[in-house]
Amino acid sequence: GAGVSQSPSNKVTEKGKDVELRCDPISGHTALYWYRQRLGQGLEFLIYFQGNSAPDKSGLPSDRFSAERTGESVSTLTIQRTQQEDSAVYLCASSLLGLAGPPYNEQFFGPGTRLTVL
Amino acid sequence: QKEVEQNSGPLSVPEGAIASLNCTYSDRVSQSFFWYRQYSGKSPELIMSIYSNGDKEDGRFTAQLNKASQYVSLLIRDSQPSDSATYLCAVIAGNNRKLIWGLGTSLAVNP
């Protein structure tokens, strides 16, 4: 079946512009996750959705970052007034159940969106 | 102390050897543990999940979990050059609110 998809695959923007990144999870997966990975760095957890609610938003780096999810479907990560330090690969993952649902909490990743802020 | 720690490597092994990758974690009540492989420029790919103490085998891969020692490892038997990648250990926090990642161990399998 289809895996997690993300769009766009690459995004180049100018400092101060807003960007929207989209994630389509695996069909039937109730949980969806956003991560950021800067070049040569580890994965940084941003937010996770169980259905369309987010139990923990504390991973979002600043109030310029927001995310929403429609039902158990597509999610959008929005970055307002982008800064150069926002340049990174933004990864989305989904799992059948949420973090508290072993053994169905395995996360499967999309290919990522590479964001470059000039 | 970092929440999830891995040796950064690089770990270099000859083709056909066993590669042993280690990970320690700080949250004593964590229940879910994962190993991912990440090739350069690609997204992480799940290799193994493990939830109970002991060993779990899948093909050439064996995950080992010891909750008392807060230690999880990944063994790769008959290592192949295509196994050369960064291996990421991830642990779900005890409060089930986030997945915490190690920084990864770089593995190089030499022909």
Q: How far out from the chain centre does Cα A41 lie?
A: 17
C-beta of residue A47 within 8 angstroms of C-beta of residue A67: yes
How do residues A28-70 score in pLDDT, each as one tens digit?
A: 999 999 999 999 888 999 998 999 898 778 889 999 999 999 8
Q: Phi first, then psi: give them for residue A77, nearest 5 degrees.
A: -105, 125
Please tell me the predicted confidence (pLDDT) of residue A99: 82
Q: Are B43 and A109 in contact (CB < 8 Å)?
A: yes
Q: By the 8 A CB rule, do A74 and A22 touch?
A: yes
- Taking CA–CA distances from B33, the nearest residue in chain A reads A106
Cβ-based contacts of A108 with chain B (< 8 Å): 46
Query: What distance in Å separates the CA atoms of residue A80 and residue A83, rounded to the nearest whole number?
Result: 9
**For position A1, what pLDDT does the model report?**
57
Instruction: Check residue A58 and give its pLDDT.
Output: 82
CA distance A33 to A48: 4
SS3 category, A85 = helix
Cβ–Cβ under 8 Å, residues A46 and A21 = no
Among A102, A37, A60, residue whose Cα is nearest residue B34: A102
Residue A92 above 80 pLDDT? yes
- Flag if A45 and B43 touch (Cβ within 8 Å): no
Find the closest chain B residue to A36 by CA distance.
B43
Q: What per-residue confidence (pLDDT) applies to B99?
A: 87
**According to the model, what pLDDT value does residue A65 have?**
97
Q: Do A56 and B51 touch (CB under 8 A)?
A: no
Contacts of A98 in chain B (CB under 8 A): 96
Task: Over range A71-76, report the average pLDDT.
Answer: 90
pLDDT(A84) > 60: yes
| Of A33, A24, A43, nearest in space to B96 by CA | A33
Facing B97 at nearest CB: one of A42, A56, A107: A56
The Cα–Cα gap between A46 and A57 comes to 7
Which residues of chain B make contact with A99, given a CB cutoff of 8 A? 32, 92, 96-99
Q: Which residues of chain B fall below pLDDT 50?
A: none
Mean pLDDT of A7-13: 98
**Rounded CA gap, A41 and A102, in Å?**
28
Q: Provide the shortest C-alpha distance from residue B106 to chain A (in Å).
A: 12
The pLDDT score that the predictor gives to residue B1 is 59
CA distances A72 to A31, A50, A53, A98, Å, are 7, 8, 10, 12
Q: How far is CA A101 from the centre of its chain?
A: 20
Q: What is the pLDDT of residue A5?
A: 97
